[in-house]
Amino acid sequence: MEPSYLELYRSGELHGRLEALLALLESCELCPRRCRVNRLEGETGYCRTGRRAIVASFSPHFGEESPLVGSHGSGTIFISSCNLLCSFCQNYEISHLMEGGEVTSDQMAGMMIRLARQGCHNINFVTPTHVVPQILEGLVAAIEQGLNVPLVYNSSGYDRKETIELLDGIFDIYMPDFKFWDKKWSKRFCNAPDYRNVATEAIKEMHRQVGDLVLDSQGIAQRGLLIRHLVMPEGVAGTKEIMEFIAGDISPNTYVNVMDQYRPCGTASQDQYIDRRLTAREYRDAVDAARKAGLNRLDSRDRVRLIFGL
């Protein structure tokens, strides 16, 4: 299956999308924060990122979902900073402390090409929301050097629907988080009381574009939607409601990773609700909630078998 961005490139549409996204940086409205700073002139807003993207690292990654990893890994490019900045972020040094350095479009392209030549099954942009135009600048250059693998949009779910619409036909695989259902908790931990409303609209648009996850004969993702949900202590994530939304409003055939790896990172140890790891019971209840909602394409990991004693 040819990546969809190649047809957009051949038709000239990809350049038009890039221009439209760059225009959003002049008074930045890329994400729901809508800071309206002129990032083209180096001004910064909530994400603290100006004209150039900041990259922390890039490498083949074997810890992602199995349809992304395959035998040669997912080619991850970790973008520094974030537009959500969760207090408990497990990549706190990258998101909050902004480890990494600024890169040019040619350097971004070089990362993509290098990962593809190493055999990675996809190019996986981790936390891309605030640097979508910069990614597309690199993509154009990478296509001209022969890039021919799917792109993965791996985000927090706090994505503006209007920006996602401009990505139609560019990303073949969307992998957003769905973090919180109740605005009380998204405000407390992410300063984003509108998280649920934003995420539901963005995820609906993602699914409209790419549909349910499609795998090749080797079980490698070619196109479609994966959703991640991090189960959190004390039920603050709203797992039951999120699973019901996915099954009812997106598709019961959605590929979902119900994740158990929460641990207190960042400033989480200072908050009484999330200053501990999950219990086995909390995770078991989360998986039960997903199945009761009608979801049956759940990411299978060794840790799941360990928790359930299978």
Which of 152, 290, 163 is closest to 221 using CA atoms?
152
At residue 240, the pLDDT reads 98
Residues ≥6 apart with Cβ < 8 Å to 13: 169
pTM, to two decimals: 0.95
At residue 300, the pLDDT reads 79
- Write the pLDDT tens digit of every residue in 202-225: 999 999 999 999 999 999 999 999
Per CATH, the homologous superfamily of domain 5-43+53-308 is Aldolase class I (3.20.20.70)
At residue 306, the pLDDT reads 38
Positions of the chain with pLDDT under 50: 302-310
At residue 301, the pLDDT reads 62
Cα–Cα distances in Å, from 9 out to 6, 111, 250?
5, 19, 29
Which of 165, 153, 101 is closest to 129 using CA atoms?
153
